[in-house]
Amino acid sequence: MNYKKIIISWILSLLAVIAVVILLFIFYQTFHIHIAIVFTFLFLLLIDALFSVYIFFSRRPIYVKLCWTLIICVFHILGVFVFIVFGSQPFVKQNYWDFKKNLSGWFNYDNRQFSKRLDKVNNEDIRQIYKYNFSVLGSLISMRNNINIIDNSSKLFESSINIIRSAKKFIFIETYILNDGYWWRAIVAELLKKIKENVQIKIMYDWVGSYGKAPKRILSKLKKLGVEVAIFNPRGINMFKSITNYRLHIKSIIVDNEVVLYGGSNISDEYLNISPNYNNFFDMNYLISGEIVNEFYSLFLYHWFNFSDHSSNRQRMRNNEFKNKLKKEMQNYSFLKKNLVTQLIHSSPVFQEKTIEQTLLLLFAKAKSSIRIICPYFILTEKILNALLSVSMCGVKVEIILPAVGDNYNLIVNINRKFYYELLKYGCHIYEFNGFIHSKYIIVDDSIILSGSNNLDFRSLWINFESALLIYDNDLARILISNFDFVKLLSSSINLDGLIKTYKTWSKMHNAFLEIISPLI
């Protein structure tokens, strides 16, 4: 994390405000009022021009550059202040070679022979997608895995409790939202039992997602009993820095490096569909065992020691100890006969390459017959939108299911609907689930699946720390297709005529504004 850059940005922002106040005071004391106004206007233009030039030469996507330039040109000094504080990049964006070198200490524990050969994958197009992430991230491509789909709240609750009860060595929990409630209290009850059995427990949550929700009293009690609790991007001064915008969005419970509960569900009662604030809440998760669990284990520790409040110099000195421990904890799953080719991919603002977005583009480009998409947040980048329009025009059947009710109706549903007109015009099929759907998965050609923590929006693809599973398996795809068809039965089909009647002028104005700032939110 580039703390020096953050401190410098704060000093510069303060000096800029002081300089502007002094200069304006001098202008209005020295010159006639009209001349002072002209000088003020020219000064503002100079500041706008300097910062606009700086932004355009920075390493940011063009949409982000345009957003910040517009904010500065409209709000002038206020826009400059906001940019210096919240627009500075807290992480050094590493190039390809530096990033791989940094990751090698965390993920270099496997001989990678299967990853290099991929001899169990008989589809050349799919092999290329796996090889892309192997080349860029060094992500293990494994075949000895079992993945069970958890498609309802009862299974989710039971699975979380059962895997914690099965722990013999350690339990690692990471989540975006940690909210006090029935589910969290049940998990804590099981953790207290495991503390007595000397099971190591680590809990990491994102402070923004858990703001006002994290049960501080319970967490303090767990800490006193020996549980290690880490906050991703810890709050405090971070509330007023650009680092606030970068969040850990991954949700997983890893036990003994043998099993992981992974998917879209945070630890909060609405994900069990028992919160009074939400009705008809639908989500998807996975219970995973096999070689791929090694990757979850490594990624958790990579985030823990580099981006949480356990990333101090004292903690960093222990990195080598844990890196060596990685190899000892890695499990051998040669006894598993199931050949389910799986790869855990991840993306973050630390790396210039947007790996999940690029994987999506490769998947869509390789599609031959069908693309099925379920997700809650649908703010498409231009590349993703153009890819879907292109494949639809080429005869690929594109089906998309989105929520009819969001966690914020006016914001989420209206933003999603912004893309409906163009997608429908190009032959895509869109459905709105009669409730809030939080599932996130994509099925291409009835055989390959991409599913994880990421949504199809700028935040997930460009800003957050995210991960997703790339799975090649006809049987698992068939189960997910059945789930997709079931959700489709509970959804309403959207057509162009109905959309034109319901898409009001206010919604268009609302979305036009959101389109301008969407790369920043």
Per-run averaged pLDDT (10 residues), the chain, 521 residues: 52 65 66 65 76 76 77 77 68 54 55 64 82 84 89 93 94 94 95 94 91 88 92 64 77 93 94 80 92 88 80 50 55 59 88 88 94 93 93 95 75 79 92 91 95 91 91 93 94 82 63 63 62
Between CA 259 and CA 194 the distance in angstroms is: 16
Residue 105: both structure tokens together: 């200490």
Q: Is the pTM of this model over 0.85?
A: no
Q: Burial letters for 136-166: b for 16+ Cβ neighbours within 10 Å, e otherwise?
A: bbbbbbbbbbbbebbbebeebbebbeebbee
- Largest Cα separation within the chain, whole Å, is 87
Our CA angle for 461, 69, 9, nearest 5°, is 80
Q: pLDDT value at position 207?
A: 86
Between CA 171 and CA 163 the distance in angstroms is: 9
Q: pLDDT value at position 179?
A: 93
Residue 255: both structure tokens together: 């036990």
Q: pLDDT value at position 313?
A: 47
Our CA angle for 138, 140, 142, nearest 5°, is 160
Q: Burial letters for 186-211: b for 16+ Cβ neighbours within 10 Å, e otherwise?
A: ebbebbeebeeeebebbbbbbbbbbe
Residue 262: both structure tokens together: 């992974």
Q: pLDDT value at position 291?
A: 84
Sign of CA dihedral 360, 362, 364, 368: negative
Q: What is the DSSP letter of 332?
A: P
Between CA 267 and CA 171 the distance in angstroms is: 15
Our CA angle for 168, 169, 175, nearest 5°, is 105
